[in-house]
Amino acid sequence: MMNTEPTRLVVVAVTFLFCFGHFATEADAQKSPNIVIIVADDLGWKDVGYHGGDIATPNLDRLASEGVRLENWHVAPLCSPTRAGLMTGRWPIRYGMGESVITPWRKWGLPTTERTIADLLATAGYARRGAVGKWHIGHYKTELLPLNRGFTFFYGLYNGNFDYFTHKREGQLDWHRNFETAHDEGYATDLIGREAAKFIDDSPTDKPFFLYVPFNAPHTPFHAKKVDIAKYAKVKNEKRRIYSAMVDSMDQAIGKILKALERKKIADDTFVLFFSDNGGTSIGNNKPWRGNKGSVYEGGVRTPALVRWPAGGIKGGGKVDGMMGMIDVYPTLKRLAGVKSKDRNRIDGIDVLDIMRGKKKAPKRDWFSYIAQGRPEQAALCDGTWKLVVTKGSALDVKLDGSSKTPQTELFRLDRDPAESKNLLKDHPDVAATMLKRLQAFRRLKIDNIPDFREGRKGFKAPKDWKIK
């Protein structure tokens, strides 16, 4: 009788090799991509070429043609709140970061009870996690600095702005490499682009990395290199001329980052996301939206945004009109990186990966905006169709019966009136009433005992070289 055992062993062996090869291929296909998040500072909606702007942004335009335009991307009205929401996936009002920016003297910052994107990605095998540029979510104690918030490398400034050439704020050098003072000379935007590209060059190709590049451009002060200013000699307004040069310079730096990805041959396997932290100032061009930075109107909270990840199906130059924004980055990256662990805090954002891919429509949802810096509170709620705006006071004090002129309340049909020009409050009191309840519930999330952004300013002296102890 013929012995069939060897035959069985061969079949088992072949089956094992086939299955193992299949699973290995599947695992390779699901390998976590590199992640690069680029954030501009105070960039206007129409200050990019692909929106018809008059500033040269060839690298952003290229991202728009190769990736996907996110045309309904929302952020907070100010720098620090947007950065906090990006890092945590949560409304900044929940933990005291929604009201105002972190000033040089302010003893406040992103609470250490909040898990950051860098913390999250550390659990998913992202051994290299770099932050290159403007931090601005807390620096008064070392626990708030990047290397203690999940990042393994930091190069840049702690404060919201500084001199682009001397790198000084409040008379002291605010330029750092990890915990040490950096004495590198040059225009800040160039240095950020150079260091970000170097981070990519130095990263191994067999393991994914996370790179966060928050530029301080084109935030004030209006500083630019002469060679870039010369390109816009025909612009009559001096501030606008310099601002244009600053945006141009930032686009050049972004080009260096994109070239580094190509040089490393990892562009297809890298998830690149770009957006601005808020709308432009009065020097920027936010058309067709109403308002600008510091406002809860669309001009303050709706910004240019792009995403590209060819290997992940995000490509082709299309656009997505679904409402999404800064708090959605955390849950999207969580899925992208394959993190299964539960978050200790409630996440407000949603996973928008399939929406970016065009595989799913954006769900109906509420997007809240809030600011309380330097003037009476402002708050807004947009559901994709309607938008309720409260200015000149707290939403908690609104009376829709008309018995009070302040706070000022407006209702817009945003899908038909994106410029927020016609107040429909009197025509649709029922819509306003239901939206006000939701907006007031959001406003009640605000925690108490948050130091004012001006507190500590009188008599403040910056530490030597902004060395934080």
- To 10 degrees, what angle do helices 238-263 and 188-201 make? 10
CB 368 within 8 A of CB 377: no
Distance, in Å, from the CA atom of 42 to the CA atom of 266, rounded to the nearest integer, reads 30
DSSP per-residue codes, 39-54: EESS--TTSSGGGT-S
Which residue in 307, 335, 331 sits closest to 319, CA to CA? 307
Residue 231, both tokens: 């390109």
Q: Which amino acid is present at 384?
A: G
In a 13 Å sphere around the CA of 321, the CA atoms on its Cβ side amount to 4
Rounded-to-integer distance, Cα 371 and Cα 448, Å: 15
User: DSSP letter string over 325-371?
Assistant: EGGGHHHHHHHHTT--PPPSS---S---HHHHTTSSPPPP--EEEEE
Tokens for 92, please give them: 């900044």
Please say whether the beta carbons of 225 and 193 come within 8 A: no
SS3 18: helix
Q: Cβ(278)–Cβ(79) under 8 Å? A: yes
SS (H, E, C) 173-229: ECCEECCEECCCCCCHHHHHHHHHHHHHHCCCCCCCEEEEEECCCCCCCCCCCHHHH
The sign of the torsion formed by the CA atoms of 232, 236, 242, 246 equals negative
> Is-contact 53 47, C-beta < 8 A?
yes
> What three-state secondary structure class fits 100?
coil
Q: Tokens at residue 323, please?
A: 């409402």
Could you identify the residue written with the tokens 């955390």?
330
Distance CA 117, CA 29 (A): 23
Determine the Cα–Cα distance for residues 298 and 287; give it in Å rounded to an integer.
10
Name residues whose C-beta falls within 8 Å of residue 104's C-beta, 6 or more positions apart in sequence: 159, 169, 170, 460, 462
Q: Whole-angstrom Cα distance, residue 24 to residue 19? A: 8
Which residues are annotated as catalytic? 79, 136
CB atoms within 10 A of CB 351: 18
